[in-house]
Amino acid sequence: MSHSPSVETAATSTPPPATVAVLGPGGVGGLLAALLSRAGHRVICIAGEETAAALRRNGISVRSGQFGDFTAPVETDTMLREPVGLCLVTVKHTALDEALDRVPAHHVAGGLLLPLLNGVDHVAALRERYGAERVVPAVIRVESTRSAPGVIEHGSPFTEIDLAGPQDRLAELAARLTSAGAETHVLPDESTVLWGKLAFLAPFALLTTRYRLPIGGVRTERGEELAALVEETAAVGRACGAPTDGARILARYDAFPAQSRSSMQRDAEAGRPLELDAIGGALLRAAERHGIRVPLAARLVSELEREAGSPSSGTGEPPR
């Protein structure tokens, strides 16, 4: 039986106000930007011209069962033009390379870069670009969608972040995020943080998108495939050093509202590029490295590639 890793909860003391940049104020970034602004921090959202103009005029409006409905003012720009102590990277993986050109490395040289993206491969790319000491591997668990520039629909009854690294180095960051409303924990092991989420996310994303069903429909109509895919992803997660437990992952799906949809499914419905390489491709590459057979995952990725009309890198090649 696997045991849960030790988790440190953020300290209860509230850190002083900080200047925080948010690269990509979409569903996740917009929610966190609004929460941090409401908590008294100076927030600079970095986005394209249209989004920046909308945020400059109207701020960010959040509709949330957890946090209530509120509007928070933020500063906006198309580039980060000054040093900040913290930069959240919350763009889609498909837009990451282009978006990073908006954040010059010297403006985060004295602070921390916190990527909250799906997948695992982006961490190495960010370390190469900004320096290993600047990048904090992390994941977020939340269902939050941008319905229009500066308008955020937060649907989940939770907003949880896990940070990977030393407690003494990350305690203030965790406390800052927790005091703003995102319950944040510090775990010592990077693989546990990153693969703990990917092992959960991959079955949810691949099955809901492939069959155009919410999680309730997947549970009832594709239950055997869900259980089999969870076993595949959990095995890969364990091989990568994370204590992933298939039964616990399935129990978390059972607790989801039946109409919950994955962000990949929403992207497919809207005709946007899919994060298929970041999620499915990363899973297949790790399985190949560790000699683990994942036939169901491979089939689903292949079918989604064909549907999308532009295959991801699949196995073998690193993501571009």
- 3-state SS string for 268-301: HHHCCCCCHHHHHHHHHHHHHHHCCCCHHHHHHH
Domain 192-308 CATH (choose: 1.10.3720.10, 2.30.40.10, 3.20.20.10, 1.10.1040.10): 1.10.1040.10
Question: Using 50, 70 and 90 to split pLDDT, how confident is the model at 155?
Answer: confident
Tens of pLDDT, residues 73-104: 999 999 999 999 999 999 998 899 999 999 99
Residue 22 to residue 99: CA distance in whole angstroms: 11
Matching fold, domains 16-188 and 192-308 = no
Question: Using 50, 70 and 90 to split pLDDT, how confident is the model at 1?
Answer: very low
The mean pLDDT value of the chain amounts to: 90
Tens of pLDDT, residues 232-268: 999 999 999 999 999 999 998 998 889 888 989 999 9
Residue 200 to residue 69: CA distance in whole angstroms: 29
Residue 210 to residue 265: CA distance in whole angstroms: 8
Fold of 16-188: Rossmann fold (3.40.50)
- Print burial letters for 63-85: b (CB count within 10 Å at least 16), e (below 16): ebeebeeeebebbbbeebeeebb
How many alpha carbons lie under 13 Å from residue 62 in its C-beta half-sphere? 30
- Beta-strand runs (E) in the chain: 8-9, 19-23, 42-46, 60-64, 70-72, 75-77, 86-89, 112-115, 138-141, 144-148, 151-154, 160-164, 183-187
Q: Which residue has the higher pLDDT, 184 or 312?
A: 184
Residue 294 to residue 77: CA distance in whole angstroms: 44
Q: Quote the pLDDT of residue 302.
A: 96
The average pLDDT across 271-284 equals 94
DSSP one-letter code for 94? G
The domains of the chain are located at 16-188, 192-308
Host H or E run for residue 20: strand 19-23
Q: Quote the pLDDT of residue 8.
A: 52
The average pLDDT across 125-145 equals 94
Residue 310 to residue 305: CA distance in whole angstroms: 6
Query: From the centroid of its chain, how far is CA 83?
Result: 24
Percentage helix, strand, coil for the chain under 3-state DSSP, each rounded to 5: 45, 15, 35
Q: What are phi and psi of 108, to 5 degrees?
A: -120, 15
Residues in a beta bridge with 71? 61
Longest dimension (CA), the chain: 54
- Structure tokens belonging to residue 175: 């406390």
Find, among 51, 46, 48, 30, the residue nearest to 149 by Cα.
51
Host H or E run for residue 197: helix 190-211
Whether the Cβ atoms of residue 212 and residue 267 lie closer than 8 Å to each other: no
Tens of pLDDT, residues 14-62: 778 899 999 999 999 999 999 999 999 999 999 999 999 999 999 999 9
Whether the Cβ atoms of residue 38 and residue 30 lie closer than 8 Å to each other: no
Question: Using 50, 70 and 90 to split pLDDT, how confident is the model at 13?
Answer: low
Q: Quote the pLDDT of residue 198.
A: 94
DSSP one-letter code for 243? -
Question: Using 50, 70 and 90 to split pLDDT, how confident is the model at 134?
Answer: very high
Whether the Cβ atoms of residue 23 and residue 79 lie closer than 8 Å to each other: no
Helices and strands of the chain, counted as H and E runs: 13, 13
Cα–Cα–Cα angle for 51, 118, 298, rounded to 5 degrees = 130
